[in-house]
Amino acid sequence: MNSIAFYFQIHQPYRLKRYTFFDIGKNGGYFDDTENERILRRVADKCYLPMNQMLLEQIEKHDGEFRFAMAVTGTVLDQLEAWYPEALESFVRLAESGAVEFVCETSHHSLAFLSDAQEFDAQVLAQKDRIEQLFGQQPTTFRNTELVINNEIAERVEAMGFKTLLGEGADQLLGVRSSHEVYRPATTEKLALLLRTYERADDIAFRFSNQGWDQWPLKPETFAGWLADVPKEAKYTGLFMDYETFGEHQWRETGIFDFMEALPALVIADPTLEFKTPSEITKAHAPTEELDIPHSVSWADAERDLTAWLGNHMQREANRLLYELAEDVRLVAAAGHAEILQDWRRLTTSDHVYYMCTKWFSDGDVHKYFSPYSTPHDAFIAFMNVLSDLKSRVRVALKERPSSSKKVVPAKSSPSDSTGDVPIRELAPTTKKRRKDSRT
């Protein structure tokens, strides 16, 4: 039976003000909270509230047979708590239904794993605790920011106690293998890897409102037929997508809400289909094959790699300088400057380097859609000005620390990843030995 695994990613960053060189040292307010609140409220009204209500009604209508997973970043949780608690409560009601699995990730939607393992651990544990507090669940499934996976990430995720990892079913990763199978990353012992079936997921996330598409308008009956038309040995279909697809990226007028409202009944009526959450799938199906992931794979752009965030010199330099501050930021935070750590962590959100991407053609259009800046260079300048101010604050705070305080020794750097220029920190040792036949 083909288990349909819907997974929805919910995220909003803290966008920066137009921070200029002349603001450095004079204005410590980095984030445009007026604009951030406006966007948060707009997206909540167009997507979160109506979709949550509709999905909850479908769960109740089908007695819990309609099931899916969600991940809600810590940054959007902060914004919902501050500016729209009613929308946050709608997510809590979904958790209370018992039919929604909440997936763990980095709290700040960061690329911390690629640069600072200590920060990665801290953000994951913070997010895990928050899921337990808000939604009453102990997450066993993990998705890294932008579905970035590799051998080292998989090994670390398993060491942290997660049972399931989500990833992208990229062609360069799978080759001729199927995205409908449950895999085990080569560096792990038992971790199950579920991959996104991007052809089907993108039918909803990207092609749904494209009137030039030969399948437009997409009918729920047509899509349900595609879900059923898979090899008999298929274990699941991974429909992973941004939640903002519904109502924000694809407006209500496209019919996408009606599509999603009709789909559950069609799937449930088909004896070859069912809905399951990621953790339910991996409980039912043990990994069938080992999968080596020597280079980072993501769900972004045609390349499905890291170039959306670390593909040019501006992005790599901004990322390098940001994480160079990590140890000192932790020191001053421990000395009582929690506000500096909060600002720094909000800068680790991957959206900031995403806005600096200089790709063109179809992927460039996607980057422009999400960016609040006129050009990637404008994004770089604003970020670097903020970082310069934050660095000055850190220097002042370090001078104020008692002389007896000890500095933490930075982690050693290891060979660069496939992007070529971005250092990857070594992970803290795990309790098990690395497999000799695995490339890391």
Catalytic residues, by residue number, are 146
Are the C-beta atoms of residues 235 and 5 closer than 8 Å to each other?
A: no
CB atoms within 10 A of CB 353: 27
Burial of 269-306, coded b for 16+ CB within 10 Å and e otherwise, reads: ebeebbbbbbbbbbeebebeeebebbebbbbbbeebbb
Distance (Å, whole) CA 192 – CA 406: 40
Distance (Å, whole) CA 232 – CA 288: 15
CA angle (437 as vertex; 431, 440 as ends), nearest 5: 65
CA angle (87 as vertex; 85, 92 as ends), nearest 5: 90
Are the C-beta atoms of residues 272 and 385 closer than 8 Å to each other?
A: no
Of 139, 76, 136, 84, the closest CA to residue 109 belongs to 76
H helices, E strands: number in the chain:
18, 12
| Residue whose token pair is 């104020």 | 400
Helix axes 117-135, 326-334, angle to 10 degrees: 50
Of 388, 357, 351, 349, the closest CA to residue 375 belongs to 357
List all residues 6 or more positions away from 215 whose beta carbon is below 8 Å from its beta carbon.
203, 207, 222
What are residue 360's phi and psi, to 5 degrees? -120, -160
What are residue 34's phi and psi, to 5 degrees? -65, -45
- Two structure tokens written together for 414: 């290891």
| Bridging pattern class, strands 100-102 and 192-196 | unpaired
| Bridging pattern class, strands 141-143 and 164-168 | parallel
